[in-house]
């Protein structure tokens, strides 16, 4: 099930820390309350995005995993 989102980043094929760095850059340009969808293939991105949200204060709205692809929905706070 797809969560509504305002922006999208395809970080599939990129390894740590690039998915989080791309998300951090995108969120920096977003308005408060907007949602970013990030698609990644690096299994390490799960713990990386958890840490990113804890440290940045942004909200992980939802997370999906399917066939080795990880999709994160992050709301800028």
DSSP strand pairing (69-75 vs 35-40): antiparallel
Which residues, in sequence order, are bridge partners of residue 65?
Answer: 70
Residue 14 Cα distances to 9, 22, 54, 57, 64, angstroms: 11, 10, 22, 24, 18
Catalytic sites, residue numbers: 16
């Amino acid at each position: 099930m797809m969560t509504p989102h305002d922006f999208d980043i395809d970080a599939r094929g990129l390894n740590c820390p690039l998915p989080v760095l791309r998300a951090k850059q995108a969120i920096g340009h977003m308005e408060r309350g907007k949602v970013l969808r990030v698609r990644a293939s690096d299994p390490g991105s799960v713990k990386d995005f958890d840490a990113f949200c804890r440290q940045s204060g942004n909200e992980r709205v939802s997370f999906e995993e399917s066939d080795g692809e990880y999709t994160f929905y992050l709301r800028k706070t």
